[in-house]
Amino acid sequence: MMGRRQVEQAALFYEFSLEKHVPPDHLLRSIDRFVDLDEVRRELTGFYSHLGRPSIDPELMIRMLIIGYCFGIRSERRLCEEVHLNLTYRWFCRLGLDGQVPDHSTFSKNRHGRFRESDLFRRLFETMLRRCIRERLVGGESFAVDASLIKADANRQKGIEGEKAGHRRPMSPYRGENSGCGKDVLGELDSQSRN
């Protein structure tokens, strides 16, 4: 016999916990242990007016930025949409189910204005780095930086053709564009497969 979905009156009260719906091994749970944003408000006090409407919580915006950096969400508009829809992101941002996500324009104005002028990101990074050293996640003695210089060819009117510039790299058959290290890696893989 074919079953039929029972349509009942919606429950008056729901018990729902974001905490229970975030997987224990999720990246944001690990990051949350080291994000200490208690001093953010104190550091930004001088950049906010005492008049007018209450502002967006700076801790919320910084937590949203961390999500954007960790998950490669470059667009502020998209970041706001993702935080609105994703339960784990809402948990990390301390929004709950009904918390208001800031508009992307407000988010952008704060990131390019208050946060940049206050040198807040550098101090947050240093604080988190000290905590990671204290927890022995990193040593703090050395670091590696990829300082490769790659000439951009962004302006088509001022572009220089390869022969005129005095150098020409072969075209990559895989990407249809110049390929530096990609060509070397593919060549190495080809030589290994022949052996």
Split at pLDDT 50, 70, 90, the class of 181 is: very low
- Chain CA centroid to CA 28, Å: 11
Q: Looking at residues 156-172, what average pLDDT do you find?
A: 56
Measured CA to CA in angstroms, residue 148 lies from 74, 118, 180 at distances of 22, 30, 11
- Please tell me the predicted confidence (pLDDT) of residue 154: 64
Ranked by mean pLDDT, the top range of 25-29, 106-110, 145-149 is 25-29
User: Would residue 142 be called left, alpha or beta, if left means φ above 0 and alpha means ψ between -120 and 50 degrees?
Assistant: beta
The DSSP code for 178 is B
Distance CA 110, CA 71 (A): 21
pTM above 0.75, yes or no: no
Band of residue 1 on the pLDDT scale cut at 50, 70, 90: low
